Amino acid sequence: MTLSRPITQAAGALRDRFREVRATSLALAAPLSAEDQCIQSMPDASPTKWHLAHTTWFFESVLLQPHAGGYQPFDPRFLYLFNSYYEALGPRHPRPQRGLLTRPSLDEVHEYRRHVDEAVVALLEEGGAAADWSVIEPIVTLGLNHEQQHQELLLTDILHALSCNPMLPACKSASGPALRLAAVPPAMRWIEQHGGVVEVGHAGAGFSFDNETPRHRALLQPYAIADRLVNCGDYAQFIADGGYQRPELWLSDGWAAVQANGWRHPAYWLAQDDPRLRFAGSSASQNAGGWHVFGLHGVRPMEAEAPVSQLSFYEAAAYAEWAGARLPTEFEWEAAHDAPGISQMTGHVWQWTRSSYDPYPGFRPMPGIAAEYNGKFMVGQLVLRGGSVATPAGHTRPSYRNFFPPAARWQFSGLRLAKDL
């Protein structure tokens, strides 16, 4: 099969991107010990080792086995161990038991990655000569975006696991590249939006997930949206005003979660008298009421101007109620993305919206195995927009729809206020 120069060039560029994304996953895991990479702190999280293996399984199962002639699986048992939720690809190891997989070892998982990487690179260096390039390119691109999603989950999942350790160890050295919440201006102002009929959803060239399509019209009433995110200083005032003791501020399920789980502050905040501060080697400070925050770099004094993070939807909605405002809908957020004066729309925290995770009018899932990627989760979830400090650079876009259950609070999730006009 003779390939055109444009396809050969495209294959080379995709090969280079493949190598870059795959290397990034290993770099994120590098500061962690083998023990760190095996633990699972709750059913909703996964071990680092599993993330490294599952993203490899995706390329092996969805790309190589169907489309690379003569490919031999690294270990047929891995097809069962590292499937996540793809019913079409057979049975799988139970999600809550991923932390029990001490075998295969971390070294074996690394060998698995090398085996699959070599096969994918060989396929791309052929320019897809062994199969139809129009089939291969979308699968590789989807696989890379899938791996970038897991790069963020790798960080949020290990952060949750380390938060369960009384020593509250840092995930990575503070001397390394800063992966932290950036400072924001203390004052908040409202940006008015006229509403009307707007176009929302992905349009044009470039990758998008199927849940971002089709682009369609939405009718918005006039509203105002905050120019910045709610910060830790703002949220500390909510706590000081008894926010976690006032049921009138909370949705019914949210108040039930507060009572059942003993929530009194964001997931990784530590009060001045928290005994873990002693184990973490952090002395109680006098700033901001003595609050400290646990993050990727360990325990640090709370920065009042940093966006508040690790909030559930319930907490975000309760804060908005307390502030005399509300959360924006996902379409209000998207329509205001490029509004003059707006800031922090991405790269800080995922922003809860008041929108349930539903299909767009005319939604059709991706063809083939990828049909299971998003559509079957469109129930019981809320949409988040933006992107966080843990989101890989260039991974998000204004139409990107993240989604989590309303009680989830181990992600880098915060909020921006909106109000009716």
CA distance 77 to 112: 12
Q: How confident is the model at residue 416 (pLDDT cuts 50, 70, 90)?
A: very high
Give the sheet arrangement for strand 190-193, strand by strand: 190-193, 223-226, 418-420
pLDDT at 176: 46
**Helix 48-58 vs helix 5-29: crossing angle, to nearest 10:** 170
Give the domain CATH number at 251. Answer: 3.90.1580.10
Q: What range defines the domain where residue 66 resides?
A: 5-163
- Is the link from the previous residue into 104 a cis peptide, with omega within 30 of 0? yes
CA–CA separation, 13 and 257 (whole Å):
48
DSSP 210-240: GGG-S-EEEEE--EEEESS--BHHHHHHHHH
Q: Do residues 111 and 198 both lie within one domain? A: no
Within 10 angstroms of residue 133's Cβ, the number of other Cβ atoms is 21
Q: What is the mean pLDDT of the chain?
A: 91
**Residue matched to tokens 């019913």:** 87
C-alpha 183/C-alpha 180 separation (Å) is: 9
Instruction: Tell me what the mean pLDDT of segment 308-334 comes to.
Output: 98
Choice between 193 and 129, residue whose per-residue pLDDT is larger: 193
Based on the fold, state whether residues 153 and 197 are members of the same structural domain: no
- Could you give the CA distance from residue 257 to residue 254 in angstroms, rounded to a whole number? 5
Question: Which pLDDT does position 177 carry in this prediction?
Answer: 44
**What is the pLDDT at residue 127?**
66
Q: Are residues 200 and 145 in the same domain?
A: no
pLDDT digits (tens, 9 = 90+) for 73-110: 999 999 999 999 888 888 999 999 999 999 999 999 99
226 forms beta bridges with 190
Closest alpha carbon to 143 in 162, 116, 167, 122: 116
Do 106 and 216 lie in a common domain? no
CB atoms within 10 A of CB 170: 19
Specify which residues 383 forms β-bridges with. Answer: 403
Q: Looking at 146, 163, 180, which one is the last position of a domain? A: 163
pTM of the model: 0.93
How many domains, the chain? 2
**208 and 154 in one domain?**
no
- Asked if residue 416 is part of any domain, the answer here is yes
Domain termination residue (choose one: 114, 148, 163): 163
42 shares its domain with 94: yes
Q: Are residues 14 and 142 in the same domain?
A: yes
Question: What's at 205, amino acid-wise?
Answer: A
Nearest to 101 by CA among 85, 78, 121: 78
The answer to whether residue 297 sits within a structural domain is no
Burial of 399: CB neighbours in 10 Å, binned 0-12, 13-18, 19+: buried
- Integer Cα distance of 351 and 328 in angstroms: 9
233 and 151 fall within a common domain: no
**272: nearest Cα among 242, 257, 293, 248:** 293
Q: In this structure, are 110 and 194 located in the same domain?
A: no
β-bridge partners, 294: 299
Q: Which tens digits make up the pLDDT trace of 19-72? A: 999 999 999 999 999 999 999 999 999 999 999 999 999 999 999 999 998 999
Alpha-carbon gap, residue 47 to 35, rounded angstroms: 10
To 5 degrees, how large is the angle CA 265–CA 158–CA 181? 55
Angle value at C-alpha 269, between 302 and 320, nearest 5 degrees: 90
| pLDDT, mean of residues 374-400 | 93
283 in a structural domain = no
**295 part of a folded domain:** no
Q: Is 179 left (phi over 0), alpha (psi -120 to 50) or beta?
A: beta
Residue 287 lies in a domain: no
Among the candidates 145, 163, 181, a domain finishes at 163
- Note the pLDDT of residue 10: 85
Indicate whether 168 pLDDT > 70: yes
Domain assignment of residue 205, yes or no: yes
Report yes or no on 54 lying in a domain.
Answer: yes
362 and 410 share a domain? yes
pLDDT confidence of 4, banded at 50, 70, 90?
Answer: low
Q: Residues 188-203: pLDDT tens digits?
A: 999 999 999 999 999 8
Strands 350-356 and 413-414: parallel
Count CA within 13 A, CB hemisphere, residue 105: 3
Q: What SS3 class is residue 15?
A: helix
What mean pLDDT do residues 299-321 have?
96
Let me know: does 228 contact 184? Beta carbons within 8 Å. Answer: yes
Same domain for 85 and 195, yes or no, is no
Residue 372's pLDDT band, with cuts at 50, 70 and 90, is confident
- Asked whether residue 66 falls in the same domain as residue 21, the answer is yes
Does 292 reside within a domain? no
- Distance of alpha carbon 339 from alpha carbon 210, whole angstroms: 26
